[in-house]
């Protein structure tokens, strides 16, 4: 297993933060490392994306709902899966990696919920799969009127990959799922993992990767000279036949590739056009495109890695690349719009199997296949929300426990295109003014859009900052279909970074799967999100007792006399309590709240003063 080392250079368009050298433990997945080393390096500041925030809340046509729960906070290794879909008649279906128990997640699988046009189903952490699985991808087949969720099998306690579960259900909404194991292999060979899917007419195209679990599965898969390769499959619905099964795409061989990786790819289809975008920290960024529903493919290298088939022994200089979090979406004309999070790597010692990477890159890049390869452009990133020409990153922003694998500062791009051709890009990024008590930056979901086919892009809007401080929003996924509104799902946490028993045990817990609807007119008119702010006025503690019945107290501390209010909503956003207070004196106080005749469950309380809001979760028993 190769090792990836970390340089804590914050190359934010050239900007950097010096850090103290240390040894950190990182994720242990295919194409990622078990050890990450942080080193000191600095560079001068240059330029930053600017914010264009104006309003503090979403428009009247927008709302936020909690639709699921999970104790497994790893929704991807790199690229974002298709997790939400707007369906006919205003219905919506949504999936996520769920688990009702903590690590090692014996009940892990594909979560599912459905909006029937008026209400969501019950919030739960249950799975639809018949056995332990994960990393689900959702598609809807309009021809057969069925929902399909693919997720991969990893058997409890063995680490063995057992192929892909193809979960199918007739109709949309409540019903019975039928699970079939597909694309599996013999017991002595690792099965396929991390499958992403797209439907084009009578066909479903699957892109996945073999695992590099050499400790438990020594019979590693090698195809076209590439170990643990990316492979694609092609299924025909009308004949119930796999026409292609676990094959390498044309030109995918060891002349350019050394090894595959864990879901560092994206897929989309529109009409008979299919696009697959493949990236990776030490790989080319490559677009594969088909105009005949996946029967034949063309290949375009958008950004070539300087060392073909890099084997961790021949890279002599610092190189820009991508962090493996890539996304592709096709418009109605068949044009492929490609997005990736920029990364940077270095191999200072070419005698070992290690590579160093810089987590502080601050750029989401864009390219479409009507552009010259050299014309890819930087369109988004972590914005300078207070416009002080610097990014206010906390001292521990880049510690292992604050990161999600080898992702850069802005990462996890996911886009959708409206019927009138406006491209909306969402992504997750660190945010300046929401800092944890142990000096790490929380993440929000941001958005930018292009109304001219990708030629120019808007300023950056924060879609989730209004929810309140001390919330981490990651893994955004957007419905390909729109109805004048953006349909978005993301994972919301009260902890920072991905759970790891050794490096980030504090990230354990039950996390919320959120669904947000945003009026696209509010985005294009600049009416989304909060104005940038620093909360230097007050702090809010956790209510006590918690859980409680009838009465609880909320600890607050104000630095000056002020008016304030407390509001409480349920998981659907319905207001259940609202109280204003005048001229609260400076200092610490406990505000008693009485809630009677309300159902047991999870609620959110918000303290607001002088336009600043802090939100926390409470439980009524």
**pLDDT single digits (tens) 482-514:** 999 999 999 999 999 999 999 899 899 999 999
Q: How far apart are the first and last CA of the chain?
A: 48
Dihedral (C-alpha) 262, 268, 269, 270: value to the nearest 10 degrees? 180
pLDDT at 528: 61
* 3-state SS assignment for residue 89: helix
Residues of the chain scoring pLDDT < 70: 1-61, 157-160, 185-188, 212-219, 386-388, 526-536, 571-573, 611
**Residues 6 or more apart whose Cβ sits within 8 Å of residue 119:** none
Identify the H or E element spanning 522. helix 520-524
Sheet holding 63-70, edge to edge: 63-70, 511-519, 485-493, 472-478
CA–CA separation, 47 vs 328, rounded Å? 27
Fold adopted by 538-620: Immunoglobulin-like (2.60.40)
Q: What are phi and psi of 71, to 5 degrees?
A: -95, -5
* 3-state SS assignment for residue 520: helix
pTM exceeding the 0.85 threshold for the entire prediction: no
**pLDDT single digits (tens) 515-536:** 999 999 888 876 664 333 345 6
pLDDT at 51: 34
Which class for 159: exposed (0-12), middle (13-18), buried (19 or more C-beta within 10 A)?
middle
Nearest to 429 by CA among 401, 468, 402: 402
- 209-241 burial, b at 16+ Cβ within 10 Å, e below that, comes to bbbbbeeebeeebebbebbbbbbbbbbebeeee
Contact 574, 556 (CB under 8 A): no
CA–CA separation, 341 vs 339, rounded Å? 7
pLDDT at 160: 67
Fold adopted by 63-524: Methylamine Dehydrogenase; Chain H (2.130.10)
Nearest to 66 by CA among 574, 587, 559: 574
Contact 200, 179 (CB under 8 A): no
Identify the H or E element spanning 521. helix 520-524
- Both tokens of 162, joined, read 């057992």
**pLDDT single digits (tens) 241-271:** 999 999 999 999 999 999 998 899 999 999 9
CA–CA separation, 459 vs 434, rounded Å? 20
Scan for tokens 């990622």, then name that residue: 32
Exposure on the CB side of residue 515, measured as CA atoms within 13 A:
28
Question: Pairing between strand 354-357 and 3-6?
Answer: parallel
**Residues 6 or more apart whose Cβ sits within 8 Å of residue 192:** 152, 161, 163, 164, 183, 184, 185, 208, 209, 210, 231, 246
pLDDT at 467: 85
CATH 2.130.10.10 residue ranges for the chain: 63-524
Nearest to 231 by CA among 268, 196, 270, 201: 196
pLDDT at 13: 33
CA–CA separation, 80 vs 97, rounded Å? 12
Polymer length in residues for the chain:
621
Nearest to 48 by CA among 459, 511, 599, 326: 459
CA–CA separation, 403 vs 419, rounded Å? 36
**What does the DSSP 8-state code read for residue 14?**
T
- Both tokens of 216, joined, read 């438990």
CA–CA separation, 199 vs 182, rounded Å? 16
The 10 Å Cβ neighbour count of residue 174 is 9
**Residues 6 or more apart whose Cβ sits within 8 Å of residue 309:** 254, 255, 256, 257, 258
pLDDT at 253: 97
pLDDT at 523: 83
CA–CA separation, 273 vs 68, rounded Å? 33
pLDDT at 533: 37
**What does the DSSP 8-state code read for residue 468?**
-
* 3-state SS assignment for residue 345: strand
pLDDT at 49: 40
pLDDT at 279: 97
- Both tokens of 82, joined, read 């298709």
Degrees, nearest 5: CA angle 372-376-379: 145
Contact 224, 252 (CB under 8 A): yes
CATH 2.60.40.3080 residue ranges for the chain: 538-620
- Measured CA to CA in angstroms, residue 377 lies from 340, 364, 407 at distances of 10, 8, 19
- Radius of gyration of the chain from Cα atoms? 24
Contact 82, 196 (CB under 8 A): yes
């Amino acid at each position: 297993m190769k090792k990836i080392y970390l340089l804590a250079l914050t190359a934010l368009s050239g900007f950097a933060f010096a850090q103290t050298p240390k040894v950190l433990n990182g994720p242990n997945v295919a194409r990622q490392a078990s050890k990450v080393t942080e080193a000191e390096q600095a560079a001068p500041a240059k330029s930053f994306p600017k914010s264009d925030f104006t309003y503090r809340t979403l428009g009247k046509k927008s709302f936020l709902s909690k639709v699921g729960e999970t104790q497994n906070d790893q929704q991807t290794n790199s690229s974002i899966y298709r997790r939400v879909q707007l369906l006919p008649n205003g219905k919506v279906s949504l999936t996520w990696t769920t688990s009702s128990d903590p690590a090692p997640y014996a009940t892990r699988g594909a979560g599912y919920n459905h909006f029937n046009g008026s209400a969501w189903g019950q919030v739960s952490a249950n799975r639809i799969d018949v056995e332990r699985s994960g990393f689900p991808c959702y598609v809807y087949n309009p021809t057969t009127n069925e929902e399909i969720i693919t997720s991969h099998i990893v058997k409890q306690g063995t680490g063995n990959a057992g192929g892909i579960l193809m979960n199918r259900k007739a109709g949309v909404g409540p019903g019975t799922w039928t699970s079939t194991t597909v694309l599996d292999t013999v017991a002595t060979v690792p099965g396929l993992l991390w499958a992403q899917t797209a439907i084009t007419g009578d066909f479903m195209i699957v892109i996945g990767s073999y695992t590099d679990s050499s400790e438990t599965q020594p019979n590693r898969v090698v195809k076209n000279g590439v170990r643990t390769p990316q492979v694609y499959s092609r299924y025909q619905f009308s004949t119930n036949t796999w026409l292609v099964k676990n094959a390498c795409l044309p030109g995918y061989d060891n002349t350019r590739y050394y090894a595959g990786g864990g879901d560092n790819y994206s897929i989309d289809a529109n009409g008979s056009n299919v696009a697959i975008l493949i990236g990776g920290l030490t790989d080319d960024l490559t677009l594969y495109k088909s105009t005949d529903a996946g029967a034949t493919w063309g290949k375009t290298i958008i950004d070539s890695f300087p060392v073909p088939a890099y084997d961790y022994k021949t890279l002599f200089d610092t190189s820009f690349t991508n962090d493996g979090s890539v996304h592709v979406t096709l418009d109605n004309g068949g044009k492929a719009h490609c997005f990736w999070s920029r990364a940077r790597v270095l191999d200072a010692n070419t005698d070992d199997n290690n590579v160093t990477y810089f987590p502080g890159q601050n750029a989401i890049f864009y390219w479409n296949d009507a552009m010259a390869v050299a014309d890819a452009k930087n369109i988004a990133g972590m914005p300078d929300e207070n416009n002080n020409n610097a990014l206010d990153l906390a001292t521990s922003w880049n510690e292992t426990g604050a990161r999600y694998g080898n992702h850069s500062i802005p990462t996890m791009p996911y886009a959708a295109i409206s019927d009138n051709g406006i491209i909306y890009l969402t992504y997750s990024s660190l945010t300046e003014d929401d800092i944890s008590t142990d000096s790490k930056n929380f993440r929000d979901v941001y958005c930018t859009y292009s109304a001219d086919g990708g030629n120019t892009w808007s300023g950056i809007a924060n879609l989730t900052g209004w929810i309140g401080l001390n919330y981490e929003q990651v893994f955004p996924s957007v419905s390909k279909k729109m109805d004048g509104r953006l349909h978005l799902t993301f994972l919301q946490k009260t902890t920072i970074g991905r759970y790891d028993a050794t490096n980030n045990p504090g990230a354990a817990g039950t996390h919320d799967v959120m669904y947000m609807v945003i009026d696209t007119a509010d985005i294009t008119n600049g009416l989304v999100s909060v104005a940038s702010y620093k909360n230097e006025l007050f702090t809010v503690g956790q209510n006590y007792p918690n859980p409680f019945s009838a009465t609880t107290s909320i600890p607050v501390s104000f630095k000056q006399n002020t008016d304030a209010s407390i509001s409480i909503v349920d998981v659907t956003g319905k207001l259940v309590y609202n109280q204003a207070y005048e001229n609260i004196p400076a200092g610490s106080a406990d505000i008693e709240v009485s809630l009677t005749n309300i159902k047991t469950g999870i609620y959110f309380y918000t303290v607001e003063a002088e336009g600043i809001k802090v939100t926390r979760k409470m439980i009524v028993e």
